[in-house]
Amino acid sequence: MAAGDGTGVRRRAELADFLRRRRAAIKPQDVGLPDGGRRRTPGLRREEVAALAGVGTTWYTWLEQGRDVRASTEVFEALARAMRLTPAERIHLILLGRGEEPPPCEQPVERVSPTVRRMIESLGPSPAYLLGSRWDYLAWNRAARVVFGDFGALPRGARNHIWQTFTNPAWRELLTDWEPASRRLVAKLRADSARHLGDPTFEQLIESLRSASPEFCKAWKRHEVDRSGVGRKLLNHPIGGRLVFEHAVFNPTEWPEQRLVLYTPTPGEATAEKMAALMAA
């Protein structure tokens, strides 16, 4: 949070007001606490919110007082869970508290077949990765790291294919057809969303993307759907230059909502040779 200008002061004041009003709107029984008889003010007490979130009462009080404290994203995530905030309210809380857009909530861990993992790792210069039901990266090989970056170095909440496509500037440089490709990606997510209506983690992803990216929001409003998974992918790698792949998507029988994404170097384009050089570096 900026502390040296009026923006930081206003943001802290907005944060304090938001926390007070959300706290006042929560009934003790809504969060599993006894009513305890008549209360002087509606809602929860400060110490109750702090206990539910696992933070110090003094620390929480300072936030409600608009003091210039540096709370981590994890603290605000804990407060959002404790106060039963909606996806939109969670984003608003972290924007006020941190001054930055939060990544989507982490998806519960999905299982990865050991056989599929070994297959991905054995594909040599062919980039491959496995996406979960919410498009989170579950497994990938070294060739994928060389081309797309190290997924393992990303925070768990941001380790998501659609989030990276729309919020990572490096992906816009890498994908020569970023605009139509990203639009098709949203159409596939829109098709998936019909199977996940009411799923809070899936809806959180969509809400976070709509808040973080005007391009995603515009594409989402089109309500286009797509299920295609085969094509040609031309990439502009910052070191390897032009890379051309044949691209295909498969669904493992045991986990049909997962996607195995494979990139095969196109013959006659020198991509295989470039991949060998990149992987040898």
Q: What is the pLDDT of residue 274?
A: 97
Per the prediction, the chain carries an average pLDDT of 89
Helix axes 178-193, 200-212, angle to 10 degrees: 150
Distance between CA 233 and CA 231 in Å, rounded? Answer: 7
Q: What is the pLDDT of residue 28?
A: 86
201: three-class secondary structure by DSSP: helix
According to DSSP, the residues that pair with 82 across neighbouring strands are none
Phi, psi of 153 (to 5 degrees): -85, -10
| Domains (range + CATH), the chain | 6-98 (1.10.260.40), 114-280 (3.30.450.180)
Q: What is the pLDDT of residue 2?
A: 43
Distance between CA 151 and CA 164 in Å, rounded? Answer: 10
Share of the chain above pLDDT 90, in %: 58
pTM, 2 dp = 0.67
Sign of CA dihedral 135, 139, 143, 147: positive
**Mean pLDDT within 184-213:** 88
Angle at 35 between CA 33 and CA 39, to 5 degrees: 125
Higher pLDDT, 236 or 89: 236
**Mean pLDDT within 38-46:** 80
